[in-house]
């Protein structure tokens, strides 16, 4: 259902590093193109489809940056106390309309329009008022001409680009757009992601748990991760390990969505029929990525039952932690790229490891950790509990992933390691 081009990928097993896998995915994708107009209050997290151009100068007038007195800075004389007679008051939203003559000043509030003839504001705490004459007295050297005046258009010129296309709209951007008097923006349509879990042993949380079965957790954690990214989720539920059921669900998924996100069914024991089925639908590559957790992973374009419908398949491993880690490592940036977002670099923290970590070079490892501040103020990270690929609790207790790169060897106590934080400020 989308405008995806042909894939450069070849089907088959590939041994790849994390970096190679990420680069291969990024090179294959082109963003979707549809857009829509949304009101400002609905725009948070959406991707701008076009630059936001300012229809006004911001600020619209020269105005005061301080509470104080506005006057003509040319009247300041070096080395002597300058005196100005106040002749009125300028409030934010209520300008002083009169003329300001030589030796005169106007009491002014922050944000008030600068009166004609004034170009300088002395903050009230930096001047004195003569008890007898009421004159405002400014000692030499306290202020220079032009200070504490915000100039018309200094934040943004009329016709200037306030926000670039590709920006994922943040709270401050909503404020910035509102400050221009704009009430709606053109955003990319949401990326549609069809999501399902595979496995005969899986039950929905609202079903009885039959012998030997487990509850499907991946669909819920992945749904949350997709929602955080502003994606539209098409929930296709649970699918049994059965070629006909899988085929039918994939057909529905490709017809409805830009991306098909699955978990389970790509590990060695189960991959054979999945592989045969996917081979008939597109050019999906099965990768053995040199990483832990999350080695089995499949990616590529799938053709639908009607001509010209294609979706990108991201088939994640079934183990709950591996599914989430591979989502963050491979799918997150790819989905943002497809959604038309300009990538913001992930800020990587370096923290001291509180324990030794055994690691051999030649694969990337992602361990669950908790970052905290040590007594000396430095950031430190502790690995949370058991690191088994199926143990969600230690992922839930974590606030970060400790990322040990492809070439990295074992870590000693106190060594610095890279950390990807789960939550940020905005």
Q: Residues interacting with Mg ion, by CB under 5 A? A: 199, 264-265, 318
Question: Is residue 384 close enough to count as binding ligand AMP by CB under 6 A?
Answer: no
Options 115, 265, 301, 369; binder of ligand AMP; rule CB under 6 A = 265
CB of 217 to Mg ion, least distance (A): 13
Check if the beta carbon of residue 326 is closer than 8 Å to that of residue 316. yes
Options 54, 120, 249, 263; binder of ligand AMP; rule CB under 6 A = 263
Which residue of the chain is nearest ligand AMP when measured via CB?
A: 318
Query: Could you give the C-alpha distances from 346 to 124, 254, 361, 371, 423, in angstroms and in order?
Result: 44, 30, 23, 16, 11
Question: Contacts with ligand AMP in 301-330 (CB under 6 A)?
Answer: 317-320
Closest CB to ligand AMP among residues 298, 402: 298
CA 256/CA 368 separation, integer angstroms:
35
Supply 14's token pair.
């590939």
CB of 270 to Mg ion, least distance (A): 5
Residue 408: how many CB atoms within 10 A of its CB?
Answer: 19
**Binding piece for ligand AMP, criterion CB under 6 A, among 109-117, 243-251, 262-270, 393-401:** 262-270
Closest CB to ligand AMP among residues 199, 282: 199
CA 290/CA 357 separation, integer angstroms:
18
Check if the beta carbon of residue 259 is closer than 8 Å to that of residue 194. yes
Check if the beta carbon of residue 142 is closer than 8 Å to that of residue 127. yes
Options 85, 247, 267, 354; binder of ligand AMP; rule CB under 6 A = 267
Contact pattern for ligand AMP over residues 212 through 231, marking x by CB under 6 A: --x-xxxx------------
Task: Catalogue the E-assigned strands of 8-67.
Answer: 12-16, 35-39, 52-53, 63-64
Residue 236: how many CB atoms within 10 A of its CB?
Answer: 20
CB of 163 to ligand AMP, least distance (A): 38
191's CB contacts (< 8 A; 6+ apart) are 32, 231, 232, 258, 259, 335, 338, 339
**Binding piece for ligand AMP, criterion CB under 6 A, among 109-117, 261-269, 302-310, 346-354:** 261-269
CA 231/CA 173 separation, integer angstroms:
19
- Selection from ligand AMP, Mg ion, none that 179 binds (CB < 5 to 8 A by kind) is none
- Selection from ligand AMP, Mg ion, none that 216 binds (CB < 5 to 8 A by kind) is ligand AMP
Q: Indicate the helix (H) or strand (E) that contains 336.
A: helix 332-338
Residue ranges that bind ligand AMP, judged by CB under 6 A: 197, 199, 201-202, 214, 216-219, 263-265, 267, 270, 317-320, 390
């Amino acid at each position: 259902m989308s405008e995806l081009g042909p894939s450069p990928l070849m089907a088959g097993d590939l041994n790849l590093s994390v970096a190679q896998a990420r680069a291969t995915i990024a090179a294959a994708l082109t963003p979707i193109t549809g857009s829509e107009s949304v009101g400002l209050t609905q725009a948070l997290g959406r991707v701008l489809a076009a630059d936001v151009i300012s229809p006004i100068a911001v600020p619209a007038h020269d105005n005061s940056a301080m509470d104080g007195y506005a006057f003509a800075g040319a009247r300041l004389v070096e080395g002597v106390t300058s005196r100005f007679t106040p002749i009125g008051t300028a409030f934010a939203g209520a300008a002083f309309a009169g003329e300001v003559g030589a030796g005169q000043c106007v009491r002014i509030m922050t944000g008030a329009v600068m009166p004609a003839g004034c170009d300088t504001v002395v903050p009230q705490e930096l001047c004195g008022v003569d008890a007898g004459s009421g004159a405002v007295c400014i000692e030499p050297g306290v202020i220079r001409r032009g200070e504490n005046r915000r100039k018309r258009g200094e934040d943004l010129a009329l016709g200037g680009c306030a926000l670039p296309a590709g920006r994922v709209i943040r709270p401050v951007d909503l404020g910035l757009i509102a400050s221009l008097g704009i009430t709606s923006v053109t955003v990319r349509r949401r990326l549609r992601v069809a999501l399902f879990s595979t496995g005969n042993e899986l039950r929905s949380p609202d079903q009885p748990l039959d012998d030997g079965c487990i509850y499907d957790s991946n669909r819920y954690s992945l749904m949350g991760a997709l929602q955080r990214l502003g994606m539209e989720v098409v929930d296709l539920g649970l699918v049994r390990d059965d070629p006909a059921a899988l085929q039918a669900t994939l057909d529905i998924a490709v017809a409805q969505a830009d991306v098909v996100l699955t978990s389970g069914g790509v590990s060695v024991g189960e991959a054979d029929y999945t592989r045969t089925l996917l081979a008939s639908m597109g050019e999906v590559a099965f990768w053995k990525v040199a990483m832990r957790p999350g080695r089995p992973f499949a990616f590529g374009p799938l053709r639908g039952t009607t001509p010209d419908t294609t979706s990108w398949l991201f088939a994640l491993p079934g183990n709950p932690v591996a599914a989430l880690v591979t989502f963050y490592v491979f799918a997150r940036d790819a989905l943002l790229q497809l959604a038309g977002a300009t990538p913001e670099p992930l800020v990587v923290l370096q923290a001291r490891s509180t324990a030794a970590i055994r690691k051999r070079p030649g694969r990337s490892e992602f361990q669950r950790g908790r970052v905290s501040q040590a007594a000396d103020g430095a950031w430190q990270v502790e690995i949370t509990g058991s690191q088994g690929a199926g143990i969600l609790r230690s992922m839930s207790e974590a606030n970060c992933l400790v990322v040990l790169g492809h070439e990295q060897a074992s870590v000693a106590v106190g060594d610095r390691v890279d950390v990807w934080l789960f939550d940020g400020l905005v």
